[in-house]
Amino acid sequence: MAFINENYLKLQAGYLFPEIGRRVEAFAKTHPSTGKRIIRCGIGDVTEPLPAAAIAAMHRAVDELGRRETFRGYPPPTGYEFLRNAIVKTDFADFGLKIEADEIFVSDGSKGDCGAILDILGAPGSNRIGITDPVYPVYVDTNVMAGHTGPVNNAGAYEGLTYLPCTAENGFVPAVPKEKLEVVYLCYPNNPTGAMINRDQLTAWVKYALANDAIILYDVAYQAYIKDPGKDLPRSIYEFDGARRCAVEFHSFSKDGGFTGVRCGYTVVPKELNGTTRGGEKMPLHGLWTRRWSTKSNGVSYPVQRAAEALYSPEGRKQIKGLIDHYMGNAKILREGCQSMGLEVYGGVNAPYVWVACPDGLSSWVMFDRMLEQANVVITPGSGFGSQGEGYFRISAFNSRENVEEVVQRLKALTLQPA
């Protein structure tokens, strides 16, 4: 019989979102006639339709594929020049950042890239890996699958990972650790806490990485949500001296262009970024990542890449801004709604997530049940993102305006008594 990858058995049994689904379903079954519909503010998926510029570009691209003269077969595995050039110009050159087109690797979304990057990093035991707590669970689970961890303990922490606590005290941005790490995952604007990192804090991380020969895996899926980019808040890690030597940056079109269903993103791997062999020989990651892509993928579909390109057109930019304004308008309503209830509220300013402290010392799951039972609103329990998330819940601003307004009305009617 074929042996399996037993690392999968270490994963916590599909915990967070399946458990939410189970509780919501059980509630709906036992309360068929509460009269109120259940409003979901849980999963971080967009709700608004695609920007018109992307739709038109996709239609045109499909028509091209339908004619012999304009038909195209396999795309270049790391992305068409037209898209890579648009990315370089609009996301980097226009901000004075030096990234070249062949340092852009177009993919079918950045969740995949966050996991795939482990293909080109060292075998289990070679890298000490740092992740924030709370965290986007993909970073943890892909390390578990790759065998980079031991089993999980009672507190939900995996042996072998270094957890960097993100708390209200540190503004949900971890200080650089005293110990040496080789790989660190950072995500700002942050999912789940909605927090943003400032220039000084990211400078410290880049310095740490350079001093320790570490690599920062920097996830900017929510870059478009940064309110005043450029001043105190960094849009890209490449705004910092030396970052080309110590950072990979993950981008996604999911949360700005609404591409969660279309599937497209890209990863930046600068040519100066080196890792090392066990023999101590420096090796550029760029070559390994190029090889990985050309071996394991035939690239992203042509209509999708044309749609992504269209997001960089003037109309596309304007339409994205409309989407962001919509979601951030929701975030403001949710923030202020929770604040007016006297709750301690974080996030929702530079990210479409509002991170709320549960009142009266309630646990995340008790709060989840109360919100579901009393308000018929589904939130995400903070504890599902890590032990430091206990005592918090996340509300997503990805929703219709109508739903968000209704959620706030219902929350205000809640009586939140101590457990």
Ligand X SMILES: *Cc1c(COP(=O)(O)O)cnc(C)c1O
For ligand X, which residue of 84, 111, 148, 370 counts as binding (CB under 6 A)? Answer: 111
**Least separation, in Å, of the C-beta of 413 and ligand X?**
31
For ligand X, which residue of 136, 188, 240, 392 counts as binding (CB under 6 A)? Answer: 136
Per-residue x/- track, 383-402, ligand X (CB under 6 A): --------------------
* C-alpha–C-alpha distance, residues 45 and 398, integer Å: 6
Count of positions on this chain that bind ligand X (CB under 6 A)? 14
Per-residue x/- track, 6-45, ligand X (CB under 6 A): --------------------------------------x-
Site for ligand X in 310-369 (CB under 6 A): none
Residue 252 as a binder of ligand X (CB under 6 A): the answer is: yes
Q: Compare residues 208 and 253 and give the one whose CB is closer to ligand X.
A: 253
Residues in the chain: 419
**Least separation, in Å, of the C-beta of 26 and ligand X?**
27
**Least separation, in Å, of the C-beta of 140 and ligand X?**
12
Q: Compare residues 77 and 406 and give the one whose CB is closer to ligand X.
A: 77
For ligand X, which residue of 51, 75, 109, 352 counts as binding (CB under 6 A)? Answer: 109
Q: Compare residues 111 and 128 and give the one whose CB is closer to ligand X.
A: 111
Q: Compare residues 110 and 376 and give the one whose CB is closer to ligand X.
A: 110
For ligand X, which residue of 78, 143, 254, 330 counts as binding (CB under 6 A)? Answer: 254
**Least separation, in Å, of the C-beta of 133 and ligand X?**
14
380-381 and 282-284 beta bridge pairing:
unpaired
SS3 per-residue string spanning the chain: CCCCCHHHHHCCCCCHHHHHHHHHHHHHHHCCCCCCCCEECCCCCCCCCCCHHHHHHHHHHHHHHCCHHHCCCCCCCCCCHHHHHHHHHHHHHHHCCCCCHHHEEEECCHHHHHHHHHHHCCCCCCCCEEEEECCCHHHHHHHHHCCCCCCECCCCCECCEEEEECCCCCCCCCCCCCCCCCEEEEECCCCCCCCCCCHHHHHHHHHHHHHHCCEEEEECCCHHHCCCECCCECCCHHHCCCHHHCEEEEEECCCCCCCCCCCCEEEECCCCCEEECCCCCEEEHHHHHHHHHHHHCCCCCHHHHHHHHHCCCHHHHHHHHHHHHHHHHHHHHHHHHHHHCCCCEEECCCCCEEEEECHHHCCHHHHHHHHHHHHCEECEEHHHHCHHHCCEEEEECCCCHHHHHHHHHHHHCCCCCCC
Q: Compare residues 92 and 353 and give the one whose CB is closer to ligand X.
A: 353
Site for ligand X in 262-281 (CB under 6 A): 265
Q: Compare residues 128 and 263 and give the one whose CB is closer to ligand X.
A: 263
The stretch among 21-29, 125-133, 252-260, 266-274 that binds ligand X (CB under 6 A) is: 252-260
Q: Compare residues 265 and 270 and give the one whose CB is closer to ligand X.
A: 265
The stretch among 108-116, 155-163, 373-381, 391-399 that binds ligand X (CB under 6 A) is: 108-116
Q: Compare residues 136 and 158 and give the one whose CB is closer to ligand X.
A: 136
Per-residue x/- track, 171-190, ligand X (CB under 6 A): ----------------x---
Identify the burial level of 254 via C-beta atoms within 10 angstroms of its C-beta, where 0-12 means exposed, 13-18 middle and 19 or more buried.
buried
Token look-up 């080309």 returns 244
* Pick from 44, 155, 132, 116: nearest CA to 266: 116
**Least separation, in Å, of the C-beta of 134 and ligand X?**
11
Nearest-CB residue for ligand X: 109
**282 CB-side CA count, 13 A:** 9
**Least separation, in Å, of the C-beta of 107 and ligand X?**
8
Site for ligand X in 218-247 (CB under 6 A): 219, 221
Q: Compare residues 174 and 406 and give the one whose CB is closer to ligand X.
A: 174
**Least separation, in Å, of the C-beta of 27 and ligand X?**
26
The binding site for ligand X (CB under 6 A) comprises: 44, 109-111, 136, 187, 191, 219, 221, 252, 254-255, 260, 265
